[in-house]
Structure 1
Amino acid sequence: MEPKIVIFTTPTCVFCKKAKEYFQSRRLKFKEIDVSRDPAAAQDMVRRSGQMGVPVILINNHVVVGFNVSQIERLLSVH
């Protein structure tokens, strides 16, 4: 079963771009949410993560703050 991945991003975020490239290179589908355009999504991101910075990545509803490859790979290996 493919993991459910959501990435909260902004257009100018370098690590957001790296995270998207990482998932694309592994052929993993993800939903991107631009919090600079969606205030409700930004509030949801802060509520889930306690962070205002991006990227915030959800993998099967587990929160990863920043582009933390080791944490991402650990969560992906569970599934």
Structure 2
Amino acid sequence: MSRPVIFSTSTCSWCRRAKRYFRERGVAFKEINVERDPAAARDLVRKTGQSGVPVIKIGGAWIVGFDKERIDKELARRTS
């Protein structure tokens, strides 16, 4: 199963919380900083309609914002 992806910026406090949440649970993830990757930022807007971060992709699910309940649900879905 592929690792979750967190789309973030360097100044986003919710992004830092999301990354800490994944680390505390021992979940490896990939981070894409949309400040440094304009193509990823455009792709994110095209796929989700969102320009804000964090946006988290787990499997085929896109989670806008730091939504622990949805994150836990999608992570559980991956392991079942």
Pairs within 5 Å for 1:47-58? 47-58=46-57
Alignment gaps of 5+ in structure 2: none
Summarize deviations over 1:20-41 as a string: whole Å, max 9, x none. Answer: 0000001111000000011100
1:69 aligns with 2:71: no
User: TM-score normalised to the size of structure 2?
Assistant: 0.92
CA distance, structure 1, for counterparts of residue 24 and residue 2 of structure 2: 15
CA contact (8 A) 1:3 1:76 kept: no
Structure 1: stretches of 5+ with no match in the other structure = none
Provide the rounded CA distance (Å) in 2 between the counterparts of 1:69 and 1:3. Answer: 19
**Residue 38 of structure 1 aligns with which residue?**
37
Q: How does 1:4-15 map to 2 (within 5 A)?
A: 4-15=3-14
RMSD: 1.1
TM-score normalised by the chain length of structure 1: 0.93
Question: SS state of the match for residue 17, structure 1?
Answer: helix
Moved over 6 A (4+): none
Give the secondary-structure state (helix, strand or coil) at the position aligned to 1:52.
coil
User: Sequence identity of aligned pairs in percent?
Assistant: 50
Report Cα offsets for 1:9-59 as digits up to 9, x if no partner: 000000000000000001111000000011100011112211000000000
